[in-house]
Amino acid sequence: MTNAIRVCLVGAGRAGQVHAESLVQHVPEGKLVALVDPNSAALEKSAGRFGVESKFNSLDEAIDRVAFDAVVITTPTFTHRELAALAATRGKHIFCEKPMALTIEECDEMIATAELNKVLLQLGFMRRFDPDFQAAAARIEAGEIGQPMMIKSLTHGPGLPPAWARDLQTSNGMLAEVNSHDWDAVRWLAGSNPERVYAEVSNFKGQKHGVDTPHFYDTALVSVRFESGALGAISGICPCDYGYDARVEIVGEKGLLQIGDVRGQSVVVCTDRERGLVTPIYRSWPERFGSAYVREMKHFLGCIRNGSQPSVSGLDGRWAVAGVLAATRSFREERSVRIAEVLDAVAAVGERNR
Amino acid sequence: MTNAIRVCLVGAGRAGQVHAESLVQHVPEGKLVALVDPNSAALEKSAGRFGVESKFNSLDEAIDRVAFDAVVITTPTFTHRELAALAATRGKHIFCEKPMALTIEECDEMIATAELNKVLLQLGFMRRFDPDFQAAAARIEAGEIGQPMMIKSLTHGPGLPPAWARDLQTSNGMLAEVNSHDWDAVRWLAGSNPERVYAEVSNFKGQKHGVDTPHFYDTALVSVRFESGALGAISGICPCDYGYDARVEIVGEKGLLQIGDVRGQSVVVCTDRERGLVTPIYRSWPERFGSAYVREMKHFLGCIRNGSQPSVSGLDGRWAVAGVLAATRSFREERSVRIAEVLDAVAAVGERNR
Amino acid sequence: MTNAIRVCLVGAGRAGQVHAESLVQHVPEGKLVALVDPNSAALEKSAGRFGVESKFNSLDEAIDRVAFDAVVITTPTFTHRELAALAATRGKHIFCEKPMALTIEECDEMIATAELNKVLLQLGFMRRFDPDFQAAAARIEAGEIGQPMMIKSLTHGPGLPPAWARDLQTSNGMLAEVNSHDWDAVRWLAGSNPERVYAEVSNFKGQKHGVDTPHFYDTALVSVRFESGALGAISGICPCDYGYDARVEIVGEKGLLQIGDVRGQSVVVCTDRERGLVTPIYRSWPERFGSAYVREMKHFLGCIRNGSQPSVSGLDGRWAVAGVLAATRSFREERSVRIAEVLDAVAAVGERNR
Amino acid sequence: MTNAIRVCLVGAGRAGQVHAESLVQHVPEGKLVALVDPNSAALEKSAGRFGVESKFNSLDEAIDRVAFDAVVITTPTFTHRELAALAATRGKHIFCEKPMALTIEECDEMIATAELNKVLLQLGFMRRFDPDFQAAAARIEAGEIGQPMMIKSLTHGPGLPPAWARDLQTSNGMLAEVNSHDWDAVRWLAGSNPERVYAEVSNFKGQKHGVDTPHFYDTALVSVRFESGALGAISGICPCDYGYDARVEIVGEKGLLQIGDVRGQSVVVCTDRERGLVTPIYRSWPERFGSAYVREMKHFLGCIRNGSQPSVSGLDGRWAVAGVLAATRSFREERSVRIAEVLDAVAAVGERNR
- What per-residue confidence (pLDDT) applies to C21? 97
Q: For residue A333, is pLDDT > 60?
A: yes
Distance CA A130, CA A292 (A): 5
Task: Check if the beta carbon of residue B242 is closer than 8 Å to that of residue B158.
Answer: yes
List of chain C residues with pLDDT < 50: 1
Q: Could you read off the pLDDT of C281-326 as tens digits, one per residue?
A: 999 999 999 999 999 999 999 999 999 999 999 999 999 999 999 9
- What per-residue confidence (pLDDT) applies to A1? 46
Distance CA C34, CA C52 (A): 6
- Decide: residue A291, CB within 10 A, 0-12 exposed, 13-18 middle, 19+ buried: middle
Task: Check if the beta carbon of residue C196 is closer than 8 Å to that of residue C337.
Answer: yes
Residue numbers in B near D209 (CB within 8 A): none
**Which strands form A121-123's sheet, in the order they lie side by side?**
A54-56, A30-36, A5-10, A70-73, A93-96, A121-123
- What per-residue confidence (pLDDT) applies to C1? 46
Q: Is C317 on the interface with B (CB under 8 A)?
A: no
Residue numbers in A near B268 (CB within 8 A): 262
Distance CA A347, CA A297 (A): 33
**Bond preceding residue B280 cis, omega within 30 of 0:** no
Residue numbers in A near C230 (CB within 8 A): 202
Q: Is C204 on the interface with A (CB under 8 A)?
A: yes
| Contact state of D242 with C272 under an 8 Å Cβ cutoff | yes
- What per-residue confidence (pLDDT) applies to C346? 74
- What per-residue confidence (pLDDT) applies to C69? 98
Choose from B145, B147, B150 for mutation: most chain D CBs within 10 A. Answer: B150
- Nearest-CA distance C344 → chain B (Å): 38
| Contact state of C150 with A237 under an 8 Å Cβ cutoff | yes
Q: For residue B2, is pLDDT > 60?
A: no
Distance CA A351, CA A346 (A): 8
Interhelix angle C80-89/C104-116, rounded to 10 degrees, is 10
| Contact state of A202 with C229 under an 8 Å Cβ cutoff | yes
Q: Is A221 on the interface with C (CB under 8 A)?
A: yes
Q: For residue B1, is pLDDT > 50?
A: no
> Three-state SS string across B339-350, please?
HHHHHHHHHHHH
Distance CA C153, CA C184 (A): 10
Q: For residue A119, is pLDDT > 60?
A: yes
| Contact state of B255 with C265 under an 8 Å Cβ cutoff | no
Choose from C134, C145, C261, C267 for mutation: most chain B CBs within 10 A. Answer: C267
**Which residue in the set D27, D139, D261 is minimally distant from A269, CB to CB?**
D139
CA nearest neighbour of B146 among A293, C327, D239, A178: D239
- pTM for this entry: 0.95
- Nearest-CA distance A227 → chain C (Å): 11
| Contact state of B256 with C267 under an 8 Å Cβ cutoff | no
- Nearest-CA distance B219 → chain A (Å): 17
Counted across chains C and D, CB pairs separated by less than 8 A come out at: 59
| Contact state of C251 with A232 under an 8 Å Cβ cutoff | no
- What per-residue confidence (pLDDT) applies to D345? 75
Q: Is C27 on the interface with B (CB under 8 A)?
A: yes
| Burial D2-27, CB ≥16 within 10 A → b, else e | eebbbbbbbbbbebbbbbbbbbbbbb
**Which stretches of chain C are DSSP H helices?**
14-21, 40-50, 59-65, 80-89, 104-116, 131-141, 163-166, 168-171, 174-177, 180-190, 285-306, 314-333, 339-353
| Contact state of A235 with C233 under an 8 Å Cβ cutoff | yes
| Contact state of A277 with B278 under an 8 Å Cβ cutoff | yes
Beta strands A267-270 and C93-96, pairing class: unpaired
- Decide: residue B229, CB within 10 A, 0-12 exposed, 13-18 middle, 19+ buried: middle
Nearest CA in chain D to B225: D200
What string of DSSP letters covers A18-76? HHHHIIIII-TTEEEEEEE-S-HHHHHHHHHHHT--EEESSHHHHHHHS--SEEEE-S-
Distance CA C99, CA C76 (A): 9
CA nearest neighbour of A107 among A310, A312, A304, A319: A319
Distance CA D131, CA C230 (A): 37
Task: Check if the beta carbon of residue C150 is closer than 8 Å to that of residue C226.
Answer: no
Distance CA A255, CA B106 (A): 56
> Residue B345: which pLDDT band, with cuts at 50, 70 and 90?
confident
Distance CA D109, CA D87 (A): 13
Task: Check if the beta carbon of residue A222 is closer than 8 Å to that of residue A199.
Answer: yes
| Contact state of D267 with A258 under an 8 Å Cβ cutoff | yes
Q: Could you read off the pLDDT of A290-305 as tens digits, one per residue?
A: 999 999 999 999 999 9
Q: Is C14 on the interface with D (CB under 8 A)?
A: no
Distance CA B290, CA C255 (A): 31
- What per-residue confidence (pLDDT) applies to B246? 98
DSSP element (H, E) containing B268: strand B267-270
Give partners of C (≥3 CB pairs < 8 A).
Answer: A, B, D
Task: Check if the beta carbon of residue C36 is closer than 8 Å to that of residue C55.
Answer: yes
CA nearest neighbour of D36 among D65, D64, D57: D57
Task: Check if the beta carbon of residue B226 is closer than 8 Å to that of residue A259.
Answer: no
| Contact state of D266 with A260 under an 8 Å Cβ cutoff | yes
* Residue partners of C333: CB distance under 8 A and separation at least 6: none
- Decide: residue B78, CB within 10 A, 0-12 exposed, 13-18 middle, 19+ buried: middle
List of chain D residues with pLDDT < 70: 1-2, 348-354
Q: Could you read off the pLDDT of C91-128 as tens digits, one per residue?
A: 999 999 999 999 999 999 999 999 999 999 999 999 99
Residue numbers in C near A336 (CB within 8 A): 198, 334-336
**Which residue in the set B241, B273, B283 is minimally distant from A281, CB to CB?**
B273
Q: Is B280 on the interface with A (CB under 8 A)?
A: yes
Give partners of D (≥3 CB pairs < 8 A).
Answer: A, B, C
Residue B312 φ/ψ region, left for φ over 0, alpha for ψ in the -120 to 50 degree band, beta for the rest: beta
| Contact state of D276 with C275 under an 8 Å Cβ cutoff | no
**Which residue in the set B256, B261, B270 is minimally distant from C266, CB to CB?**
B261
- What per-residue confidence (pLDDT) applies to B309? 97
Q: For residue B38, is pLDDT > 90?
A: yes
- What per-residue confidence (pLDDT) applies to A267? 96
**Bond preceding residue D99 cis, omega within 30 of 0:** yes
User: Mean pLDDT throughout A323-337?
Assistant: 98
- What per-residue confidence (pLDDT) applies to D1? 46
Distance CA A237, CA A177 (A): 11
| Contact state of B232 with D255 under an 8 Å Cβ cutoff | no
**Which residue in the set A26, A135, A254 is minimally distant from D265, CB to CB?**
A135
Task: Check if the beta carbon of residue C160 is closer than 8 Å to that of residue C286.
Answer: no
Q: Could you read off the pLDDT of B41-61 as tens digits, one per residue?
A: 999 999 999 999 999 999 999
